[in-house]
Structure 1
Amino acid sequence: MNRVTVNSTPIIGLSIVGQLTLLSELFDEVYVPEAVYQEIVHNRAPRHYGKGELKRLVSEGVFRLYKVKNYNIVKSLYGKFHAGELEVIIGAKELGAQVVVMDEHAARSLSKQFLLRPIGTIGILILGKKNGKITEVKPLLDTLLENGFYLSRRLYQEALLLAEETL
Structure 2
Amino acid sequence: MEAIVLAREQGIDLVAIDDKAARSRASQTGLRPIGTLGLIVLAHRPGHLDASTAMTKVDELVDIHGLYLSSHVRRQIRRQLGGSFTGTVKR
Structure 2 length-normalised TM: 0.80
Does 101-110 or 136-145 show the bigger shift? 136-145
Deviation at 1:114, TM superposition (A): 0.8
What residue is the counterpart of 1:43 in the other structure? none
1:70-118 CA distances to partner (integer Å, 9 max, x unpaired)?
xxxxxxxxxxxxxxxx110011111101111011111101001110000
Deviation string 1:27-59 (CA, Å, 9 cap, x unpaired) is xxxxxxxxxxxxxxxxxxxxxxxxxxxxxxxxx
Q: Is the contact between residue 62 and residue 69 of structure 2 (CA under 8 Å) also seen in structure 1?
A: no
What's 1:157 paired with? 75
Look up the equivalent residue of 1:139 and give its one-letter code.
Answer: T
CA RMSD after TM alignment:
1.4
Q: Matched residue of 2:15: which SS?
A: strand
Unaligned runs of 5+ in 1: 1-85
State how many pairs are aligned. Answer: 82
| Residue identity matched to 2:61 | L
Task: Find the counterpart in structure 2 of residue 53 from structure 1.
Answer: none
The residue identity in structure 2 corresponding to 1:126 is V
Q: Any conservation in 2 of the 1:99–1:118 contact (CA below 8 Å)?
A: yes
What are the ranges of 5 or more consecutive residues in structure 2 without an aligned counterpart? none
Q: Residue 148 of structure 1: CA displacement?
A: 2.6
Q: What amino acid sits opposite 1:87 in the alignment?
A: E
One of 91, 110, 113 as aligned partner of 2:28:
113
Superposition map of 1:138-157 within 5 A: 138-153=55-70, 154-157=72-75
- Is residue 40 of structure 2 the alignment partner of residue 125 of structure 1? yes
Taking every aligned residue pair, what percent have the same amino acid on both sides?
A: 29
Change in Cα spacing, 1:131 to 1:149, as seen in structure 2 (3 Å) is farther
- For residue 164 of structure 1, report the CA deviation from its aligned partner: 1.6
Q: TM-score, normalised by structure 1?
A: 0.46
Structure with higher strand content = 1
Deviation at 1:150, TM superposition (A): 1.2
Query: How far is 1:141 from its partner?
Result: 1.0
